[in-house]
Amino acid sequence: MSSRTNISCLQEAARVAIFGGTHGNEMSGITLVNMWIQNSAEIERNGLLIKPFISNPRAVEKCSRYIDTDLNRAFTPENLSAPDVEGLPYEVQRAKEINRMFGPKGSADAYDVIFDLHNTTSNMGSTLILESSTDLFNLQMVHYIKKAMAPHTCSVLLNEHPQLKYSTTRSVAKHPVGLEVGPQPQGVLRSNVFESMRTILKHALDFIELFNSGVTFPPCTVDVFRVQERMDYPRDTNGNITAMVHPHLQDCDWEPLNRGDPMFLTFDGRTVLYEGANTVYPTFINEAAYYEKQQAFMTTGREILAANAIRKACK
């Protein structure tokens, strides 16, 4: 063992929340959280407070993504500091409430970890979403989860892009982690997708329990896909979509897209090619909820992140 080994001592992760129903039609998380609210045996771990929580109950009731505005974009500083007045959009009220219960965002009182459970119509498989390349706790946790899930693949998406990063529900916590499993249609519960998400969470909670018990996790590297760009559909002057994701790109999340590869197919049968200079790795290909957000897919670049060894700080 090198005498120069760096072990980062981090605070115990004592309080953990699991959010389902941030989008009311993404059924795996809603079903898991409701199940665990009824019977929490499966998620109990020594020395850990774990709270399963339905973040957008009105949207869940309606089985729609949101009521007034997307909750998973609502945790901006402006919204969180907005005064309590009548007529605030439902999700802004809800964001303030969640910030009171699990935050305040950015403070020492905030929950240590929030897992936010999502589904996508894209063929992303099991994906973990990180917002920071320097959060050692999260990097070590996703490394642990990936190893535990093998040979089942778990991709890691890193969204640190200054313009494309957004104010997520989970950003209230010190260590926010998004779980995204697809493909699954909105409003549908598929057994295999449900079980994948359940297994990811099991490994995540195992990691936290081990960490809190004082285990040292050695230095590691994590393969990530870093968000680069949002690609919209071709549209006409009225803003209507004029082409669909090309059949060669459909369902090819995480696979290389090179200059000259087919990207879109117009309704009258013409192929539109990808013209970018570099190879990119598309994801969120043909996600239903992103039509209104002007996104056909997102491009990413592959990167290897390094993380120091970590250990729980002694009191």
Binding-site residue ranges for substrate: 72-73, 166-170
Residue type, 156: V
Q: How far is the CB of 246 from other proteins (least distance, A)?
A: 6
Which of 78, 86, 268, 275 is the binder for other proteins (CB under 8 A)? 268
Q: Which stretch binds other proteins (CB under 8 A): 68-76, 100-108, 143-151, 240-248?
A: 240-248
The yes or no reply on residue 57 touching other proteins (CB under 8 A) is no
Residue 234, preceding bond cis, omega within 30 degrees? no
Which of 47, 77, 185, 260 is the binder for other proteins (CB under 8 A)? 185
Q: Which stretch binds other proteins (CB under 8 A): 78-86, 158-166, 218-226, 244-252?
A: 244-252
Which of 102, 115, 144, 194 is the binder for other proteins (CB under 8 A)? 194
Catalytic residue at 180?
A: yes
> Residue 152: how many CA atoms within 13 Å on its side-chain side?
15
Question: Which residue number, 22 or 186, has a Cβ lying nearer to other proteins?
Answer: 186
Which of 86, 240, 275, 277 is the binder for other proteins (CB under 8 A)? 240
Which of 134, 163, 292, 314 is the binder for other proteins (CB under 8 A)? 292
Footprint of other proteins on 109-138 (CB under 8 A): 121
The yes or no reply on residue 238 touching other proteins (CB under 8 A) is no
The yes or no reply on residue 260 touching other proteins (CB under 8 A) is no
Question: Which residue number, 34 or 132, has a Cβ lying nearer to other proteins?
Answer: 34
Which of 47, 187, 218, 260 is the binder for other proteins (CB under 8 A)? 187
The yes or no reply on residue 82 touching other proteins (CB under 8 A) is no
Binding positions for other proteins, rule: CB under 8 A: 31, 34-35, 63-64, 121, 183-192, 194, 240-241, 244-247, 250, 265, 267-268, 286, 288-289, 291-292
Residues noted as catalytic: 180
